[in-house]
């Protein structure tokens, strides 16, 4: 797992990932990550304008943005996903939030079944604000599917094209390993988890009983938020993310 990198103006540290997103973020001491859910989704490009206005009202800079949540109308081909990411990253670069050429912003982007839109939409984001009284870390673990860490190629998909029960279980086991590694890399603990989310159209029965309850202690306490959804790329079948926040707003 890579070493945490400090964002010089964002008041958080991030685990480097690949070009479209980091693997996760954790607020600096004296600050907290706040999660914001949108009552009305916005097309992703317009969503950046909404986020900027929101940050201005909070007297926070663009650099305080640390995570984005997107929903797509359907999964991309791998090439289509790469092309979308170029446009998305170009906006972040224009914001000046990159750190020495690396994208610090964590992200989850999935395709819910029945989602009615013509393009990816913003449904939530997270930002960092001062909170000197908060004694615990707050963080976001970025979404990950069964695509081998550090890759963005079809051949990196675990058991690509397979959807048997055993294949889904193996995919989920890999994703859980990634979640656990990213959480450890952020210096977080399971006692700090505020939400465990799973994104798949496949049954969670076996995955929950034989995998999640044993590997993710937070699941026994607070359960799993299951969004009946496909991950953002064709042939990826199972995705998860984690949140460890104490403040959530609906706007």
Q: Are 132 and 247 in contact (CB under 8 A)?
A: no
| Predicted local confidence at residue 1, as pLDDT | 66
Mean pLDDT by 10 residues, the chain (251 residues): 91 95 97 98 97 98 98 96 96 96 97 95 98 96 94 92 97 98 97 97 97 96 96 97 98 96
Nearest by Cα to 124 from 37, 225, 33: 37
The pLDDT assigned to 115 comes to 95
> What's the pLDDT at 29?
97
Q: Where are the beta strands (DSSP E) in the chain?
A: 5-6, 12-15, 24-27, 31-43, 65-71, 106-112, 121-130, 139-145, 195-200, 225-230, 239-244, 247-250
Distance CA(78)–CA(74), nearest Å, equals 12
d(CA 199, CA 194): 17
Q: Which two tokens stand for residue 1?
A: 């797992």
Q: For the segment 139-198, what is each residue's pLDDT rounded down to a tens digit?
A: 999 999 999 988 889 999 999 999 999 999 999 999 999 999 999 999 999 999 999 999
Residue found under tokens 């859980």: 176
What are the distances in angstroms from CA 232 to CA 108, 147, 178? 9, 11, 17
Topology (CATH) of 5-250: 60s Ribosomal Protein L30; Chain: A; (3.30.1330)
């Amino acid at each position: 797992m890579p070493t945490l990198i400090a964002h010089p103006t964002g008041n958080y540290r991030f685990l480097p990932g690949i070009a479209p997103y980091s693997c996760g973020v954790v607020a600096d001491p004296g600050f907290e990550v706040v999660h914001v859910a949108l009552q009305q989704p916005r097309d992703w490009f317009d969503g950046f304008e909404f986020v900027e206005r929101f940050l201005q009202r909070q007297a926070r800079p663009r650099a305080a943005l640390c995570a984005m949540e997107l929903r797509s109308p359907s999964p991309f081909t791998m090439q289509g996903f790469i092309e979308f990411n170029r446009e998305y990253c170009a906006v972040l670069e224009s914001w000046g939030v990159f750190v020495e050429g690396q994208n610090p912003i964590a992200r989850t982007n999935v395709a819910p079944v029945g989602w009615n839109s013509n393009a990816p939409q913003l449904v939530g984001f997270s930002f960092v604000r001062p909170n000197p009284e908060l004694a615990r870390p707050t963080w976001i673990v970025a979404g990950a599917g069964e695509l081998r860490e550090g890759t963005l190629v079809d051949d990196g998909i675990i058991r690509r094209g397979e959807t048997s029960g055993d294949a889904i279980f193996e995919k989920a086991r890999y994703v859980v390993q990634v979640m656990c590694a990213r959480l450890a890399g952020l210096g977080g603990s399971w006692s700090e988890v505020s939400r465990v989310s799973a994104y798949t159209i496949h049954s969670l029965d076996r995955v929950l009983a034989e995998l999640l309850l044993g590997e993710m202690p937070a699941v026994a306490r607070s359960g799993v938020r299951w969004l009946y959804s496909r991950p953002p790329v064709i042939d990826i079948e199972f995705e998860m993310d984690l949140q460890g926040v104490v403040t959530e707003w609906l706007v």
